[in-house]
Amino acid sequence: MDANPNQKNSWFYRWFLNNKTVTTLLVVLLLLIIIFMVSKVSFIFEPLKVIFAAVGTPIIIAGVFYYFLNPLVDLLEKKTQVKRTWIISLIFIALIGLLVWGLAVFIPWLGGQVRSFVENVPNYWHSFTKVSDEILKGNKYPQLNAIVSEFNDDLTDWFKNSSSDYAKKGFSSVSSLVGSITKVGVSLVTFPVILFYMLKDGHHLPKYLTSFFPKRAQSSFQETLQDINAQISNYIRGQLSVAFAVMIMFGIGFTIIGLPYGLFLALLAGIFNLIPYIGSFLAMLPALGVALSVSPMLFAQAVLVFVIEQILEGHVISPKLLGDSLEIYPVTVLVVLLSAGNLFGLPGVILGIPGYAVLKVLVTKLYSWWRHVSGLFDDDDGISTKQTAEANLGHTSD
């Protein structure tokens, strides 16, 4: 709907109705009021929290596998003309084979690596402090020595206190441990079932959801679903592919330089790389600590591996596999990571970016719809909607 000419010439329209700042403040005010009202009746949402806590984890895990496996299922269905159900069943059989191999070979190896690494952390820390003391012994800045020594003492005390605290908590939280194991077990049992039906019938879901909307809004809603699906699928497939490539690069590099626990640290780097931008840096901290505890030369070699990996990841792998599909500024990514991490912990750090991407699509679509319905902010496009319509009519009459 377009405002009449008299209304557009009024000061109230120019300074309030057609003012983005005022409109934004009003929207923020309404959101704050809604949040305040919801906080007063939060007990109504308790059943939803319980339901999400029960089914949220398997659904999220199944969703990640769905976006990673669905292109393969679509490709095989198109190339082989075999029924989709049979293709999914064959993929599940292959995944079960990988799972059996993992339980028989990989998990025992990984458990041994983790146990040995944890047992040797005090030795590595002692060697690390010894090497750092030797490096700093001959420097000309005694203040730096004092700062490093104080930091070393504080960190050592923190390790001791943390280990004793965790030991005390371990004896007093057996029930919570049993509950966590039960929750993980239920998730592992239910997520394959959810994944099977997502792969089998997931492509029908957009059409089913669209059917609930009026016909005039169905095309817009379907376009929104397609944009959301593209954002999530590009991010998940790209991020998992980049993380796998990072794990391979670190594994090769650490093996070449002979870093202790190199394959385990490379696996850790791949997992940490699921966190955008800061994942690789977090993964390198234990690797550099282990390298420096062995020798300064190994530390320099580990730094070189890290530099080469960052160059390849930033200029070759990420642009090819991930690209700029999310169109999110790096500063925005860091803000989202910090905010989601503080609110939801590790799941927030991992899922915060795709969640923000979905929210961005929804807000953009709602804003475009509101501009179209209200007729406001036409001047932003350089020509109003009414002028565009008149120009089109003029060309038609000619």
* Mean pLDDT of all residues in 160-187: 59
Average pLDDT, the chain: 76
* Mean pLDDT of all residues in 302-307: 92
Q: Do 246 and 270 touch, CB atoms closer than 8 A? A: yes
Considering only 251-265, 281-295, 371-385, which range has the smallest mean pLDDT? 371-385
Residue 110 has pLDDT above 70, yes or no: yes
Residue 385 has pLDDT above 70, yes or no: no
For 199-221, what is each residue's pLDDT tens digit? 888 888 888 888 888 888 788 88
* Mean pLDDT of all residues in 287-303: 86
* Mean pLDDT of all residues in 164-177: 51
Q: What amino acid is encoded at 377 in this protein?
A: F
pLDDT of residue 323: 59
Q: Model confidence at 392, in pLDDT bands (50, 70, 90)?
A: very low
Residue 397 has pLDDT above 50, yes or no: no
* Mean pLDDT of all residues in 313-336: 74
Residue 394 has pLDDT above 50, yes or no: no
pLDDT of residue 304: 93
Residue 391 has pLDDT above 50, yes or no: no
Q: Do 288 and 309 touch, CB atoms closer than 8 A? A: no
Residue with tokens 């669905």: 70
- At a CB cut-off of 8 Å and minimum separation 6, what does 289 contact? 124, 125, 128
Burial of 279 (0-12, 13-18, 19+ CB in 10 A): buried
* Mean pLDDT of all residues in 145-174: 57
pLDDT of residue 367: 79
- For the record, the structure tokens of 393 come out as 């009519």
Q: In whole angstroms, what is the distance from residue 92 CA to residue 103 CA?
A: 16
Q: Do 282 and 292 touch, CB atoms closer than 8 A? A: no
pLDDT of residue 305: 92
- For the record, the structure tokens of 233 come out as 């699928």
CA-nearest of 387, 389, 390, 374 to 20 is 374
Q: Do 183 and 57 touch, CB atoms closer than 8 A? A: yes
Residue 139 has pLDDT above 60, yes or no: no
The CA-CA-CA angle for residues 357, 363, 365, to 5°, reads 105
- For the record, the structure tokens of 324 come out as 């700029």
CA 317 to each of CA 91, 242, 323: distance values in angstroms, whole numbers, following the listed order? 27, 7, 9
- This prediction has a pTM of 0.68
For 57-93, what is each residue's pLDDT tens digit? 888 888 888 988 888 888 888 888 888 899 999 999 9
